[in-house]
Amino acid sequence: MAKQQAAAAQVAAESSGKSRKTLFVLVGVGLLALLVSLGGVGFFLLGGDRDETTEAPAEPVAPVRAMALYQTLEPPFVVNYSHAGRQRYMQVSVALLGRDQGGMASLNRHLPLIRNQLVMLFSSEEFEVLLTPEGKDELRQRATLAVQALLEKEVGNPVIESVLFTNLVLQ
């Protein structure tokens, strides 16, 4: 019986030794896999050693447009016309659109010249032409060109991008 107990104890010792070896091997493999995973993630996130000369050239970036700045011309322009024997009037509220902060600040010195230029332009129009949307848009485009030419002469820079009609009333 003692022999049987000794044999059973020896078998139990061998089986517990095998299970411990298996446990150590599995834990070791798991830790190794974890370390390799963390190393790969770290390499990927930190960028590793990239050779900058082998990368594709970057596409040209479109320039970002500056924020729009508006200068309203107060009071609104009022122009009178003679049309078919009747007195007709046009009232126009104008805003100037620009994107250069310094240029728009220098615009204030030349507001009397701009107002004069626009009054002359508005009063030279034909009333029948202004009744159509195309006529109003053409007037706006000509006003833009007139103000840009005036500012180019006075400041050396057209400063504004467009003349906008914020209100236009024909009576």
> Residue 138 maps to which CATH number?
3.30.479
What pLDDT shows up at residue 164?
95
Same-domain check for residues 73 and 153: yes
What pLDDT shows up at residue 43?
74
Rounded to a whole number, what is the distance in angstroms from the first to the last CA of the chain? 127
**What's the pTM value of the predicted model, to 2 decimals?**
0.61
Question: What confidence tens digit (pLDDT) does each residue in 134-171 have?
Answer: 999 999 999 999 999 999 998 888 989 999 999 999 98
What integer is the mean pLDDT of 26-36?
A: 76
Residue 31 within any structural domain of the chain? yes
For the cut 60, the answer to whether the pLDDT of residue 7 exceeds it is no
Residue 53: pLDDT band (50, 70, 90) is low
> Which residue, 103, 164, 99, is CA-closest to 137?
164
Contact 93, 166 (CB under 8 A): yes
Contact 98, 164 (CB under 8 A): no
Residue 64 within any structural domain of the chain? no
Q: Is the dihedral of CA 151, 161, 105, 122 positive or negative?
A: positive
Please tell me the distance from the alpha carbon of residue 169 to that of residue 93, in angstroms, as a whole number.
9
What integer is the mean pLDDT of 9-23?
A: 66
Taking each helix axis from N to C end, the angle separating 133-155 and 111-123, rounded to the nearest 10 degrees, works out to 150
Strand ranges, E, within the chain = 69-83, 86-98, 160-170
Question: What confidence tens digit (pLDDT) does each residue in 92-125 have?
Answer: 999 999 998 888 888 888 999 999 999 999 988 8
For the cut 90, the answer to whether the pLDDT of residue 49 exceeds it is no
Same-domain check for residues 80 and 158: yes
Residue 122 within any structural domain of the chain? yes
What pLDDT shows up at residue 121?
93
What pLDDT shows up at residue 93?
95
For the cut 80, the answer to whether the pLDDT of residue 83 exceeds it is no
User: Quick one: how far is CA 59 from the chain centroid?
Assistant: 17
Residue span of the structural domain in which 19 resides: 2-50
Q: Which helix (H) or strand (E) holds 35?
A: helix 2-46
- Non-local (6+) Cβ contacts of 72 within 8 A are 93, 94, 95, 96, 166
Residue 105 within any structural domain of the chain? yes
Same-domain check for residues 82 and 164: yes
Same-domain check for residues 103 and 132: yes
Considering only residues 163 and 47, tell me which one the structure prediction assigns the higher pLDDT.
163
Same-domain check for residues 91 and 23: no
What integer is the mean pLDDT of 47-68?
A: 66
For the cut 90, the answer to whether the pLDDT of residue 50 exceeds it is no
**Count: domains in the chain:** 2
Residue 27 within any structural domain of the chain? yes
Residue 163 within any structural domain of the chain? yes
Residue 63 within any structural domain of the chain? no
Residue 60 within any structural domain of the chain? no
Same-domain check for residues 39 and 107: no
